[in-house]
């Protein structure tokens, strides 16, 4: 692991976003990362090393490897990874009402935390560095996101169902508490959403 040291990605093919063309591809490029910032990205190895400072650093060599920005998962129910492959052969209505909803009714906060952590680990492992999530026990998902270090837009339902179908009331205290929790947790990586 990097132990918090600056990192040099040396001799990679680097893909960077470009508003005009969509992406720019640079061969034999170097990227220097200091803390949570990119200090240098380009083809000059001396400048890359200079941006790392005088102390020790960790170095990874690309040699035919690609370095690109992380992906973003724009919509998810991360803890549902626990239900993966549950009756994949059913139509949507039957899958939801006969399988998923009954499974969800038995979920506890710890289940959502474990499922969220597993799903987040799988996202990070496959190149996703940011996601949006909306699910039950959003505080458990928030805890898993902070533990894993991913960026997340996290939704809180912010309402409680009424006795009649379609009736619900907004819970303003729950929403403001949720916003405060998100904004005070995760070093700016967690953003509250509705």
How far, in Å, are 34, 172, 174 from residue 169 at the CA level? 47, 9, 12
Residue of 155, 164, 153 lying closest to 186 (CA atoms): 153
Residue 48's CB is within 10 A of a number of other CB atoms, namely 20
Are the C-beta atoms of 111 and 79 separated by less than 8 Å?
yes
The residue ranges of the chain whose pLDDT is under 50 are 1
Residue 137's CB is within 10 A of a number of other CB atoms, namely 18
**pLDDT value, residue 133:** 96
**pLDDT value, residue 1:** 43
Residue 57 DSSP one-character state: -
Query: 86 is written with which tokens?
Result: 């549950």
pTM of the model: 0.79
């Amino acid at each position: 692991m990097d132990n918090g040291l600056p990192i040099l990605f040396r001799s990679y093919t680097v893909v960077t976003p470009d508003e005009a063309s969509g992406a720019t591809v640079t061969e034999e490029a170097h990227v220097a990362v200091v803390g949570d910032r990119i200090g240098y990205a380009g083809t000059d190895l001396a400048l890359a090393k200079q941006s790392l400072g005088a102390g020790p650093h960790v170095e990874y060599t690309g040699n035919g490897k690609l370095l690109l920005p992380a992906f973003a998962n724009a919509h998810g129910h991360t803890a549902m990874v626990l239900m993966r492959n549950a009756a994949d052969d059913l139509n949507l209505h039957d899958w939801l009402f006969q399988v998923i909803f009954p499974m969800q009714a038995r979920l506890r906060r710890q289940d959502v935390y474990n499922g969220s952590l597993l799903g987040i680990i799988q996202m990070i492992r496959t190149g996703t560095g940011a996601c949006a999530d909306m699910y039950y026990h959003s505080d458990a998902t928030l805890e898993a996101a902070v533990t894993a270090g991913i960026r997340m837009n996290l939704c809180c339902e912010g309402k409680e169902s009424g006795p009649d179908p379609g009736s619900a009331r907004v819970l303003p205290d729950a929403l403001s508490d949720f916003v405060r929790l998100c904004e005070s947790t995760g070093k700016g990586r967690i953003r509250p959403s509705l």
